[in-house]
């Protein structure tokens, strides 16, 4: 019987600094047959392990259309992520997954998309953004609304110009510096009836405090509860519904039933948001 906790052997093939607290790791599965069979969807996640330091869940942040490698964005927050920041190109790591339910590809490719991100929340949405730039004919209009505390924390800044060829980028920070020329304030301020169509599909990834106010605003703008999606990745641990840490009232598990839920699914779940 296959042990679901046994990781797949992989290695780090590239490391890039993308913000003052964030690095982008490009990972390649060692075994060619396993690598060719490895597939993930927008919104899914995997478990990354460093021998001797443990493991943690991370969202994919590169396009599923890129087959040879995949990428993960890491903020330096705890012991495992601190260890990841010390690793060099060529270091062996382990992965488990992919896990969870991804975005409904038919739905997001046939509707206008509103992607709302706060802080490090842009990383898992990058799977869609990259895909839209690689295959723009497969998507309708995409709008990105992204907010951070300050401009130094904005992720993937070097990509914005390229993304803007096919995607509408809207940026805001709480505390601007002298060089900042975009919006100032919380990301909710960017969401208006002039900028967002009521029949759009919205996907939200960011800190929990952001969700309440963004959802309220989107509902006011006419989006249905079924068309507003929220990522609850922060609650996952084992990834396979065994440890019970991510259980929600009603019997759902974030790792197996999510991590992406429509607002209609969890709006009456007390600990959902």
pLDDT in tens, 153-180: 899 999 999 999 889 999 999 999 988 9
CATH of the domain spanning 105-231: 3.40.50.80
Locate 130 and state its tokens. 């990259």
Instruction: Write down the pLDDT at residue 232.
Output: 85
CATH 2.40.30.10 occupies which residues in the chain? 8-98
Fold of 8-98: Elongation Factor Tu (Ef-tu); domain 3 (2.40.30)
Residue 39 CB neighbours (<10 A): 9
Instruction: Write down the pLDDT at residue 186.
Output: 93
Q: Where are the beta strands (DSSP E) in the chain?
A: 8-19, 22-29, 45-50, 54-59, 70-75, 92-99, 113-118, 142-148, 168-173, 183-184, 201-205, 228-231, 260-262
Q: What is the pTM of this model?
A: 0.91
pLDDT in tens, 75-132: 888 888 889 999 999 999 999 999 998 887 777 777 899 999 998 899 999 999 998 8
Alpha helix (H) residue ranges in the chain: 32-37, 79-86, 105-110, 122-134, 160-163, 208-220, 254-257, 263-266
CATH 3.40.50.80 occupies which residues in the chain? 105-231
Instruction: Write down the pLDDT at residue 1.
Output: 59
Mean pLDDT calculated for residue range 63-78: 90
Instruction: Write down the pLDDT at residue 235.
Output: 65
Residue 195: pLDDT band (50, 70, 90) is confident
pLDDT in tens, 33-63: 999 999 999 999 999 999 888 899 999 999 9
Q: Compute the half-sphere exposure of residue 57: CA atoms within 13 Å on the CB side of its CA.
A: 24
pLDDT in tens, 220-271: 999 999 999 999 876 677 888 888 888 886 778 888 888 999 999 888 876 6
Instruction: Write down the pLDDT at residue 251.
Output: 79
Q: Distance between CA 45 and CA 57 in Å, rounded?
A: 7
């Amino acid at each position: 019987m296959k042990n679901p906790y046994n990781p797949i052997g992989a290695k780090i093939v590239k490391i890039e600094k993308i913000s003052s607290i964030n690095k982008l790791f490009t990972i390649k599965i060692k075994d060619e047959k396993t690598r060719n069979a490895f597939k993930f969807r927008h919104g899914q996640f995997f478990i990354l392990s460093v021998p001797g330091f443990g493991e943690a869940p991370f969202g994919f942040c590169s396009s599923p259309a890129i087959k040879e490698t995949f990428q993960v964005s890491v903020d330096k927050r705890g012991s495992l992520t601190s260890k990841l920041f010390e690793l060099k190109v060529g270091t062996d790591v382990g992965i488990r997954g992919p896990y969870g339910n991804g975005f409904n590809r038919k739905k997001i490719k046939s509707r206008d998309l509103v992607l709302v991100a706060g802080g490090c929340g842009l990383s898992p949405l990058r799977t869609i953004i990259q895909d839209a730039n690689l295959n723009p004919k497969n998507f309708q209009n995409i709008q990105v609304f992204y907010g951070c505390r300050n401009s130094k924390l904005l992720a993937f800044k070097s990509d914005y110009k390229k993304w803007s060829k096919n995607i509408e980028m809207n940026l805001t920070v709480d505390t601007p510096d002298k060089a900042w020329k975009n919006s100032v304030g919380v990301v909710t301020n960017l969401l208006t009836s002039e900028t967002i169509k009521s029949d759009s599909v919205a996907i939200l990834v960011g800190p929990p405090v952001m969700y309440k106010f963004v959802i309220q605003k989107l509902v006011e703008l006419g989006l249905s509860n079924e068309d507003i999606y929220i990522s609850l990745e922060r609650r996952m641990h084992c990834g396979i519904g065994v440890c019970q840490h991510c259980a929600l009232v009603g019997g759902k598990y974030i790792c197996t039933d999510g991590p992406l839920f429509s607002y209609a699914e969890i709006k009456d779940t007390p600990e959902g948001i």
